[in-house]
Amino acid sequence: MTQHSGSCLCGVVRFELEGAFDAFFLCHCQHCQKDTGSAHAANLFSQSASLTWRSGEDAVTTFTLPSTRHSKSFCKHCGSALPGVQPAGVVVPAGCLDTPVSMAPTAHIFTASKAAWDGESPDTPRFAGLPE
């Protein structure tokens, strides 16, 4: 059985997942842009995985945008994105995992809402760390 573990940035919340991921979507919708502050969200989806909170479950908060299916779970201390259980299964922000994800993204979704500044820019300098 596939197992993954993860945590929030401050380390208060820790969790484990048991089960396989069905899809890995990079979502470019405007809701995901707003709640990540980035070009897209990177979320793993599983209809069968089980989520177990190892610590800090009381620090997990979920916000659901009214009149939508869009929701986000996060640590109330540091704001890190965390897994959420939805009617369709478990949604896991890829960046909160402490274990490697072996699957590549399945698809870019909601690309009609893609940020104008999001794209491959081969002329933009790249740095392994913070530039000096």
Token pair recorded at residue 119: 């794209």
Distance CA 121, CA 80 (A): 28
Per-residue pLDDT tens listing for the chain (132 residues):
679 999 999 999 999 999 999 999 999 999 999 999 999 999 999 999 999 999 999 999 999 999 988 899 999 999 999 999 988 899 999 999 999 999 999 999 999 999 989 887 888 888 899 998
2, 18 contact by CB (below 8 A)? yes
How does DSSP assign 105-116, residue by residue?
P-EEE-GGG--T
Give the other-Cβ count within 10 Å of 53's Cβ: 15
- Structural domains of the chain, with CATH: 3-113 (2.170.150.70)
Question: What's the pTM value of the predicted model, to 2 decimals?
Answer: 0.90
Distance CA 128, CA 20 (A): 31
